[in-house]
Amino acid sequence: MSEHAPITVPIVRERKSGPKLTMVTAYDHPSASIASAAGIDIILVGDSVANAVHGFEKTLSATVDLMVIHAAAVTRAKPHSLVVVDMPWMSYHVSDEEAVRNAGRLVREGGASAVKLEGGSNRTETIKRILAAEIPVMGHLGLTPQSVNAMGGYKVQGKAIEDAQEMIADAKALEAAGVFSIVLEGVPDVLAEAITEAVSVPTIGIGAGDATDGQVLVFHDVLGLGGGRYPKFVRSYADLRGQAIEALQRYAADVQSGAFPAEAETYHVRDEVARMLADGGALSDAKESSSSSQSP
């Protein structure tokens, strides 16, 4: 449990004027504990767990059941960070009633303090219904991974003036609906700045330049735990994957050479017991005892 003061939704709202908000994804107890100890403001239990942890190609594979499991693991770490949980694809698309029910599961079973969903003005009524259930909502505009098939891939959004104007209007619609913050993903820096200035709630960028009110990255990307190429907007602050591989290689080498386990890592018995075990006496006694117990 972190010694930092707990972060709440009102505190996040107040950070519109700074200092900047920090957010990372976390999907389990250890990563949540690490993020909290580092003083991270917001933990996002993202549907990116489908990619980062379960090896799926898209976030579309995440389900409400999966998000509940990972959210509960995160909240059991009792982080000081505000825990926001992604509503996965198809958990809020069928009906507002189902959206409220699924958001409630993320709070009741997963321990979430807030939920996040993707979309603009087309989601405002759903957001209002979730808010009416006393569940805070974070918005998400720009490159929305749940719309990857409709977008034709993971592409920067809002490059054309018409698209940029529509995104600004969507941000204002989310603000009016009552979201307490908005994630801006994969948008040009000038557009992210315009949106940040246009709304009174904090914006949190990922691949959106430095003018937003905060930043978010995936835990595994920040620590260099992933493989392959990272997106352009990622900065890795460590190479834990490389360190882990090297550590496991040294462990395997020590096992093969007999260097592990050493004396300090081995349990012992009294000398007389060790002598009996060494000369087979204890084994003989055990056999005789077993034979006696089986006699009529």
Please list the active-site residues. 185
**Which residues make Cβ contacts (< 8 Å) with residue 293, sequence separation at least 6?**
none
Q: Which amino acid belongs to residue 164?
A: A
CA distance 4 to 24: 16
* Spatial CA neighbour of 167 closest among 126, 206, 122: 122
* Block residue for tokens 């801006």: 184
Beta-carbon contacts of 242 under 8 Å, excluding residues fewer than 6 positions away, are: 224
The burial class, CB within 10 Å (0-12 / 13-18 / 19+), for 130 is buried
- Angstrom distance (rounded) from CA 102 to CA 224: 33
Residue 21 CA to residue 244 CA, distance in Å, equals 30
